[in-house]
Chains A and B, each alone.
Chain A
């Protein structure tokens, strides 16, 4: 029996980098061709399905959507042959492409960690998720620390250079965690925290320090503004600077949290210190207190049916997503895994099975709702005019076991094409 279960989902995954295409990159076409994808079932997410739909893509954006679109004769026409076209999938919780540098597990408070510093843009996991229709991912710090590091948002333009993969203008997110992982990591070393009391004490203490830090800088800046020449600047502290940005509302707070009681504790803590929680991640017990989350406009990024891998995942039920959604919670299905990231469409379809989500509701959980959690819902997550042309053409019905992406566009360029030999990537060749 091979153990297939990954027990601490948010702790480092173990990848083996056997080959690395050190210089295999080819830049995407600089000038975006104008493209019309016609004869598709267009699943817009926001405006229903268009049965015989067309999408006109210009300069990397969606320029028109409809039964027929006005496009210049020079535009390349792609006949979708009646296949389904969806927005690119958005994974709102991922740890791929970090070469195991997921957790700086040497202190329970590490908000100064920047995931960009570990971003391994050549990781093939980016490609494998792309081949599953994922175009955007939120790469988060792990859950070893109560307060972890700052995330990055990437587009899965495998073959492009590092900076070209970063989502332009995406807001900053920081990872918090709670529950078993911090207490296990530090408790096993006989350090603080080893209990949930310890967890929250560590978190509160860090936030109090951040308040003091912010106050000292505010005082200093006020003095300077008044022309006080004797004012001395406080010492710069990267850690407290990052936490001060949480208090200033400049960082979106993404919290790894399983248990219903801990959601309430985290909400109380956020109110005490005046920041807002963007989303609870994993959130397997959201169905127990959905009204409380909905009232605070907190989203959840959850698994469809993963359960039982640890004590705090014991009350997980596959109806969680739909029960929470019906009470007004914005729900995303996320991967937290280089495996699930390749088939999030199937995971979303499970919500149609467990609880009867509609097709559009299910699709939203891996597109628009996920985009909201990441903070990029104004740019991606639906097929609408003005949004980025991140699109997936599917062989088969996307919300089924047997669906397979046929082509994936990001910013109007094809980054994956199943019909191509080798890896199926127009912008990547191994070993060049």
Chain B
């Protein structure tokens, strides 16, 4: 329960069921967990509230109770509960916790040290039964570092060198355990079609699929196999029902196939497939393939697809755009990638930003700020790391804006959330104030007093 010296877990909120606690020892072990849940109402008073959903409220008041935002509005209009802890945030900006729409948080610690990495299973290209929640390391030192810049939620995704590397989870970046932090398991499935999935690294190592033809045929076969699998399962259910009705011997249970089983929710359009492509050709090939199987898609990257932005808009699907720091191709102008968000916005495309990183997830707001420099309106840039992301991932009823009833993931900073100079002063996750402490701040403090 206790983790000396790492701190970030021992202050975090979460669900706790005291009913199961019997023995005194067990009770003692759970005591710190009890304190995770927000006990006392918390009030932020005097700040500039960037609600994202309904404009800006100057000199506002925001109340957090029971882990949720219970009220917000102009100072005069909000009743402050008697027992509340009130924090004066005059001159500060208050905004919803930021959502990073693709990270490898919890899957890596030190990039070059392989034993600290659980990023992708490269033994095969079709690996939809890999679940990042099986590897998600809640105690990662990267998570407190990320929170310090106001990021409270993230998609955790496997790396992209397989066409189907596994399934993403949506996490909250604080909680008493991995189980609590994994808000939505298997929330989406990446389908990567950028060319980087070809097994053509060297003459010695190359194997199928070493071309895009190979990648596409392998993907088609996987989805066809999954369709057959689904049909067989349906046939079995019918035969079984008939046998039960006729009181005949039951048919043999079909053998389970985890790979094909994992594909079913996506074939049925119940969950989104995050379709990664960069250039127009890959994009159109991958979209055609997805359409063949009626997949529900979210586009990813589209970094070098400027010639087909109208086509992208016509698909009426959301786009995870970026990273904005991707270098342009040799034939592209220097700002071809920088100005993509503004161009997509002009065409009415709903988009979210992602760091596509772990250690540098903390720089997510600066990517959004950079897009502003190239023409994206500021409020749209903030939306792309809050409400748009929540909507794309289907969690907008809980996250993404400052609205009563939503989870109290709230950030207080001394300026524009998107500016690189801005310092985050408070982070609340489910109403609980998160100490702004990380391995890095501890090193800073240790050597500052030396």
A424: which B residues are within 8 A, CB to CB?
A: 333-334
A387 within 8 A of B: no
Q: Mark A15-36, 1 if CB is under 8 A from B, else 0.
A: 0111110000000000000000
A84: which B residues are within 8 A, CB to CB?
A: none
B334 with A131: CB separation less than 8 A: yes
Q: Tell me whether chain B's interface is mostly helix, strand or loop, or mixed.
A: loop
Task: Report A364 CB to chain B, min CB distance, Å.
Answer: 16
A131 with B335: CB separation less than 8 A: yes
Interface residues of B in 315-333 (CB under 8 A from A): 323, 325, 327-331, 333
Task: Report B28 CB to chain A, min CB distance, Å.
Answer: 34
Indicate which residue in B419, B423, B447 contacts A400 across the interface (CB closer than 8 Å). B419
Q: How far is the CA of A402 from the CA of B415 in the complex (A)?
A: 14
B355: which A residues are within 8 A, CB to CB?
A: 4
Q: How far is the CA of A172 from the CA of B127 in the complex (A)?
A: 52
B330 with A308: CB separation less than 8 A: no
A386: which B residues are within 8 A, CB to CB?
A: none
Q: How far is the CA of A154 from the CA of B109 in the complex (A)?
A: 37
Interface residues of B in 83-122 (CB under 8 A from A): 102-104, 107, 109-113, 119-120
B372 with A401: CB separation less than 8 A: yes
Q: Mark B340-379, 1 if CB is under 8 A from A, else 0.
A: 0000000000000001111110110110111011100000
**CB pairs A–B below 8 angstroms (26 shown):** A1-B119, A1-B356, A3-B160, A4-B356, A4-B357, A5-B357, A7-B111, A16-B329, A17-B330, A19-B330, A125-B327, A305-B360, A305-B362, A310-B113, A317-B441, A339-B327, A343-B325, A353-B422, A353-B423, A400-B420, A401-B365, A401-B368, A401-B420, A402-B418, A403-B373, A424-B334
Q: List residues of A whose CB falls within 8 A of some B CB.
A: 1-5, 7-8, 16-20, 124-125, 127-128, 131-132, 180, 287-288, 305-311, 313-319, 323, 338-339, 342-343, 346, 349-350, 352-353, 395-396, 399-404, 422-424, 430
B420 with A353: CB separation less than 8 A: yes
Q: How far is the CA of A20 from the CA of B331 in the complex (A)?
A: 9
A316: which B residues are within 8 A, CB to CB?
A: 440
A350: which B residues are within 8 A, CB to CB?
A: 420-421
B327 with A311: CB separation less than 8 A: no
A287: which B residues are within 8 A, CB to CB?
A: 443-444, 447
A404: which B residues are within 8 A, CB to CB?
A: 335, 373-374
B418: which A residues are within 8 A, CB to CB?
A: 401-402
Number of interface residues of B (CB under 8 A): 60
A402: which B residues are within 8 A, CB to CB?
A: 369-370, 372-373, 418-419
Given A5-B359, A317-B443, A353-B423, A18–B331 Cβ distance below 8 Å?
yes
B142 within 8 A of A: yes
B369 with A309: CB separation less than 8 A: no
A401 with B444: CB separation less than 8 A: no
B4 within 8 A of A: no
Task: Report B255 CB to chain A, min CB distance, Å.
Answer: 31
B363: which A residues are within 8 A, CB to CB?
A: 305
Q: How far is the CA of A307 from the CA of B190 in the complex (A)?
A: 27
B325: which A residues are within 8 A, CB to CB?
A: 4, 339, 342-343
